Amino acid sequence: MSYWQNRAVENAGDLPEVPPALAPQDAQAWCNFIVWVPQALPADCAMPDGTLRMEAPPGRVAGVTAGRTPWTSNNPAAYRTEIAGPGRRLRIKQFLYDWAFPALEHPCLWESQTTAVPLNDTNVLWYGIDYMKNRAASARLGRTLIELSVLEGQFSDDEILRLYRSMRPSVDAAAAAIYATPFAELSYWARYPAEMVSVPIGLWKFRRTGTAHQGEWVSGPAACAGILSELGLPAELAGYAVDSAARFLSPDGRRESEVVYAAGADRGRELRLIAQRAGRGRLGLAPEPEPHPASHETTAIGEIAVALGNIDQRYGPWDAVWHAPASDLEVKLLSTTGIGMDRAWFVSVVAELISACRPSARQL
């Protein structure tokens, strides 16, 4: 199967001033993510067609702000819908979170106390409060981040859970093609000279700053082999296969590599590895917690002291930082969330990676 390629506006100046209304199945062709449609709406509620924020190269037209992100001139795709009934209304926003690792799988709930419940045998749903102080929820299905915010009235947790559990792809053939496509072939930030966005990457502080484009991404085992060999990294980790990889070079000359390991038919389970030769990148040896409710500890895994963070010990997400003297690497390993991704599992992944990392050819 060939990789998915979404439609896009060729020039930012040609973007519509207002995001157009489109049915989900029509919007799918414009999106670098699966557009999901709920099949079970809350009682007395209806869902009209949503609005599409079309993809375009970076740029802005003076005075045109409708549907555009205020914190960057980049123009990734997004799809927004509202579900409403008498005295109540909620919003669902869908997009591919690809400007950093999908922070905790619920970036819209940042700094709020969150709780997780199973959606199915694989995925979990997070409840919390969003940046607008609205009751909100978030889940990641087939790599699409699906954010929900209650704008008016009340929706129970059970109604929100049923809504998420009823999600189905709007176009099955598109979903199959997106499942088969590596992260780097979907990512807006990999396909355009897009400026960096300083956002949290995990539970231990690590952010990439600077307005210049920094990451150079490749996809597939053969293309990733060079990046892996530079640092002596494995091509597979805990049954997760290498999907995509990148070299990042900061404006001040610091350099680290990033590797996406993916598992599952939809590539939806991820391990994200950020690694650097000791002292040469942006990772710090004394990590500081991000201001999001979470648990932090230092634990010994083998002979290595590992800074370990998580939100829910049953599901993750996980963030580990350590220095491995034998390979001279400083490492940050993150996981997505999911059923079975508990503490014992993640500790075993860290132990496997520590064992697998070896001195690279440049060290020998």
Contact 330, 278 (CB under 8 A): yes
Query: Which pair of structure tokens corresponds to residue 114?
Result: 């969150």
Per-residue pLDDT tens, the chain, 364 aa: give them.
689 999 999 999 999 989 999 999 999 999 999 999 999 999 999 999 999 999 999 998 766 666 666 667 899 999 999 999 999 999 999 999 998 887 788 999 999 999 999 999 999 999 999 999 999 999 999 999 999 999 999 999 999 999 999 999 999 999 999 999 999 999 999 999 988 888 899 999 998 877 778 899 999 999 999 999 999 999 999 999 999 999 999 888 889 999 999 999 999 999 999 999 988 999 987 889 999 999 999 999 999 999 999 999 999 999 999 999 888 999 999 999 999 999 999 999 999 999 998 665 444 3
Q: How many CB atoms are located within 10 Å of the residue 188 CB?
A: 22
pLDDT value, residue 116? 97
pLDDT for the residue 362 = 47
Task: For residue 362, give the amino acid letter.
Answer: R
Spatial separation of the C-alpha atoms in residues 336 and 256, rounded to whole Å = 21
- Residue 101 has a pLDDT of 83
Q: Peptide bond before 317: cis, by omega within 30 degrees of 0?
A: yes
Could you tell me which of 238, 290, 277 has the C-alpha nearest to residue 359? 277
**CA separation for the pair 135, 156 (Å, rounded):** 10
Let me know: does 309 contact 294? Beta carbons within 8 Å: yes
Question: In angstroms, how far apart are the furthest CA atoms of the chain?
Answer: 70
Q: What is the pLDDT of residue 2?
A: 86
Q: What is the pLDDT of residue 87?
A: 97
Distance in angstroms (rounded) separating the CA atoms of residues 161 and 61: 39
65: alpha, beta or left, given left = phi > 0 and alpha = psi -120 to 50? alpha
Model-level pTM? 0.95
- CA-CA distance, 307 to 334, in Å (whole number)? 12
Instruction: Judge whether 164 and 146 are in contact, CB under 8 Å.
Output: yes
pLDDT at site 169: 98
